[in-house]
Amino acid sequence: NTYKEEAAEITRKTGVTNISDLDPNSNNDTVQIQEVVKKLPELTAKKNTIDTHMNIFAALLSQLESKSLDTFFEVEQDPGSTKTRSRFLDILKDGKTNNLEDKLRSFIVLYLTSTTGLPKDFVQNVENYFKENDYDINALKYVYKLREFMQLSNMSLQNKSLEDGSDSAFKPSNLTLSGIYGLTEGKLQGGVGSLISGIKKLLPEKKTIPITNVVDAIMDPLNSSQKNLETTDSYLYIDPKITRGSHTRKPKRQSYNKSLVFVVGGGNYLE
């Protein structure tokens, strides 16, 4: 925006249609033109930087479009739908894309985020597709085992809720491991504005990662969900103002104004 405003001001003062038409070596004695010419090197550098970023952006959009990542993202949003599974199988065999790695990743997302689990015949069809294309799917063994652990954890939390007299059940969050939607709808010729509007569709609205929910529950418990509060109630508070021995009880929920958050190591967001 700054570059556009400065360029418009220059063209208005000099009467040229484009700042590239100005000649820094011109002997024109017009004071305004001479002042404007002094700004040319800086403006030219800004334009080159903008052009470089736009070229990179255009190349990225081209890659996203060629891999149909927007289609995969749409499918991943509703893993429990029969139509979604049918559409995913169609995408696998449509012959338009050969990015088997993205197809496998999308299947893993569907498998791990489905609340009720995927039908065995659907899983078998997907496995057969990759085998027919001689693609290594040994990683799926780990994914299947991970899903079993997730279910066991779910059962454990449900049992704990029953023991505590709470009827709240654990619901796995709908993790979005990829998110490319509508990026290629806006063409570069349409200007930066149309591209930005397309980027806004990249992430679903009102979705937060686990660490955000944890921090919200600690910082502002009054406006946090019960599920997040139950998670943070078991956290250890190291506070010199707390009476000795009281750390064995649930900490008193209170609001905080400032915090510093550190994510250490390769653990999960709740560690």
Pick 136 or 67 by higher pLDDT: 136
Residue 18 burial class via C-beta count within 10 angstroms: exposed 0-12, middle 13-18, buried 19 and up: exposed
- Reported as a single tens digit per residue, the pLDDT across 162-181 is 555 554 444 444 333 333 33
Mean pLDDT computed over 91-114:
85
- Reported as a single tens digit per residue, the pLDDT across 212-265 is 888 988 889 888 888 888 888 888 777 777 666 555 667 678 888 888 988 776
Q: Which residue has the tokens 């103002």?
A: 241
What are the b/e assignments for 40-50, b being 16+ CB within 10 Å? eeebeeeeeee
Question: Does the pLDDT of residue 117 top 80, yes or no?
Answer: yes
- Reported as a single tens digit per residue, the pLDDT across 129-165 is 999 989 998 989 998 888 888 777 666 555 555 555 5
Mean pLDDT computed over 114-127:
89
- pLDDT at residue number 252: 75
Structure tokens at 258: 């400032």
- Reported as a single tens digit per residue, the pLDDT across 217-228 is 888 988 888 888
CB 33 within 8 A of CB 39: no
76 phi/psi in degrees, rounded to 5: -70, -15
Give the DSSP letter string of 45-105.
Answer: HHHHHHHHHHHHHHHHHHHHHHTTHHHHHHHHT-TT-HHHHHHHHHHHTSSS---HHHHHH
pTM: 0.47
Q: Which residue has the tokens 């021995």?
A: 245
**CA gap 218, 232 in Å, rounded:** 7
Of 176, 173, 162, residue with least CA distance to 69: 176
77 phi/psi in degrees, rounded to 5: -75, -20
Give the orientation angle of helix 120-132 with respect to helix 100-113, to 10 degrees: 170
